[in-house]
Chains A and B, each alone.
Chain A
Amino acid sequence: MTETTTLADPLFKWQSAMMEEGFANLRRMSRLPYLWQKAQNVRKGATPSEVVYEEDRLKLLHYPGQTAPRYKTPLVFVFALVNRPYILDLKPGRSVVSHFVNAGFDTYLIDWGAPTPADRHLTLDDYVNGYMSNVIDFVRERTGAPQANVLGYCMGGTMSTMFTALHQERVKNLMLLAAGIDFSPREGLINMWSDPRYFDVDQFIDAFGNAPAQFLQASFLLLKPVQNLIEKPINFLEKMDDDKFVDDYFTMETWLNDNIAVPGEVFRQFVKGLYQKNLLVQNRMPVGKHTVDLRKITCPILNIMAQNDDLVPCASSAAFNDLVSSKDRKSIIVPAGHIGLAVGTKAQKESWPEATRWLAERS
């Protein structure tokens, strides 16, 4: 009798657990209409802002903050061209911008806008020596400060580096966030896929004009196909009755799927000059009629990198500090991925307060 009970026990246990799981699934499914509604109304941006400057598709956002700025040098965020910049101000508690605004910095953010087919001929020269240069001049004029602090994220970090090397006199402090500088490491899949033997960027841009948003989106998804296409949806199905998780999930997914095209010529220059020829670290990267020489960077540098970055591997950013002439150089390695570096819990609790302090001491 005892033996029969012992044998049947695990079976009963399994059966009841499976039934519980079945009911939990039903409960989750019943929330689908509510979730659909919620997914349509995701808020973008957390900190109040105003547009203070516009040029073509570019908009410069200013975050006025609750009090007057405590530091005279303004801070300008430069985001990548591939996604929307609101990842830097995603939601309360997950906003990089709010760290600096609350610390008393006069903070600005460049929203490049979405390029149209008419923008396919825009080059890095237009972005670095045109738009960025005009924005920095406008901010300097508006605040009366002789220089500005620049924080560049991802491709925006690479462009900020180019800008600083060409216009060092206008930049007081340079902060880089997962910025690709040395493209020789083969840890990242993007670096491998852009190998000229397998990817003819000239043919691609000649045919498509701009680098299509869908192409970029598919490439990013393929970096971790199992995680992005299988694990993530399953994880969502399991936790869709958790309001906090759902809120975070929708905010993040809205941003991840909000890709924009990259102007064709910029994409061509980026792939050829950086991914394929790695010219930036050799001080041979041409931007218009000028060549970027990293040795001309002399301002204080803060280089923030993500340990598990699959898009811009740590090694790709780490090289930067040894290539500049700055005496004041610091690196922070955050145990996070490319996006977690900005919005992750660890980064929000530790790295950003540290970065804010670093900048405060130098502004």
Chain B
Amino acid sequence: MSNTTENAFEQAGAFQKIWMDTFTKMAQAGFSFSPESAPPEFMRQMRSGIFGALAKSWEEFMRSPQFMESMKAMMDNAISFRKMSNDFLTQAHHTFQGTAQADIDNLMLALRHLETRILDRVEDVSTRLDRVEKALNGTARNGAAMGAAKPAAHQRKASKPKRSASRRRATAA
């Protein structure tokens, strides 16, 4: 027997076991209450038992490799379909010389790269400015003779993690 067939049988077996367990638990839950209780209450208790058993079995099922595999297959199909529709819509837009979402995405990405590069430069300039400031302060304190001294590495102010704010505005309270 090939591996694929063996796997399929194993999966089918596991799947069947989950449902057999579910029905067994549901049946047990249904028959474990006294029929002497008031009918609606009895029905509610029975229902609650059945749902409890069902929930437990589903929880087990959703942790099983069978569920995970089927979820993966579903996700793969959804992703393929989305990609296909994205491609189709992009082509359709381009055919009519329109702007597709992919174009806007690319533009946004280019802007992000630009922003990153500018921020890196600003951060670099800011660090250098800090060094210059410290050096100047040191010069002022220690006199002209010490003025050219470069601050030691541990004295340099580490750049703070900070990104730009694109459209900051404080609203009047």
Chain A residues in contact with chain B, CB under 8 A?
13-14, 17-18, 20-21, 50-56, 62, 117-118, 120-121, 125-126, 128-131, 133-134, 138, 142, 166-167, 189, 192-193, 195, 197-200, 203-204, 207-209, 222, 224-227, 230-231, 234, 287-290
Contact = CB atoms under 8 A, between A and B. Distances in A.
B58 A225 contact: yes
B75 interface: yes
Contact of A134 (B82, B165, B171): B165
A226 B109 contact: no
Contact of B39 (A18, A200, A290): A18
B54 A121 contact: no
Contacts of B101: 117, 209
Chain B binding site: helix, strand, loop or mixed by DSSP? helix
B132 interface: no
Nearest to B101: A117
Interface stretch (B5-13, B61-69, B88-96, B135-143): B61-69
A234 B39 CA distance: 17
Given A199-B75, A224-B55, A288 B170 contact: no
Please list the 3 inter-chain residue pairs (A to B) with the smallest Cβ-Cβ separation, ordered nearest first: A130-B163, A226-B55, A17-B39
B51 A52 contact: no
B58 A226 contact: yes
Interface in B145-173: 160-171, 173
A343 B82 CA distance: 38
Most A C-beta atoms less than 10 A away, residue of B161, B162, B165: B161
Interface residue tally of chain B, by bracket? 35 or more
Nearest to A230: B51
B40 A17 contact: yes
Contact of B71 (A18, A118, A193, A287): A193
A138 B170 contact: yes
Contacts of B59: 189
Contacts of A130: 162-165
B162 A129 contact: yes
A278 B101 CA distance: 33
B86 interface: yes
A17 B58 CA distance: 33
Contacts of A55: 165-169
Contacts, number: 116
Interface in B26-77: 38-40, 47, 51, 54-55, 58-59, 62-63, 68-69, 71-72, 75-76
A125 B115 CA distance: 13
B112 interface: yes
Contact of B169 (A54, A193, A209, A290): A54
18 contacts: A18-B39, A51-B171, A52-B171, A55-B166, A55-B169, A120-B105, A131-B165, A133-B162, A134-B168, A166-B161, A192-B68, A199-B72, A208-B79, A222-B62, A224-B55, A226-B51, A288-B163, A289-B161
B40 A21 contact: yes
Contacts of A224: 55
Nearest to B54: A226
Contacts of B55: 224-227
Contacts of A225: 55, 58, 62
Contacts of A54: 167-169, 171
A125 B40 CA distance: 56
Contacts of A231: 51
A287 to B, nearest CB: 7
B129 interface: no
A52 B39 contact: no
A52 B170 contact: yes
A14 B161 contact: no
Given A53-B169, A222-B62, A204 B164 contact: no
A129 B161 contact: yes
Contact of A198 (B69, B82, B163): B69
B83 interface: yes
B108 interface: yes
A290 B68 contact: no
Contact of B83 (A18, A126, A207, A230): A207
Contacts of A203: 76, 79
A355 B68 CA distance: 39
A290 B40 contact: no
Contacts of B160: 167
Nearest to A166: B161
Given A17-B40, A121-B109, A290-B161, A56 B63 contact: no
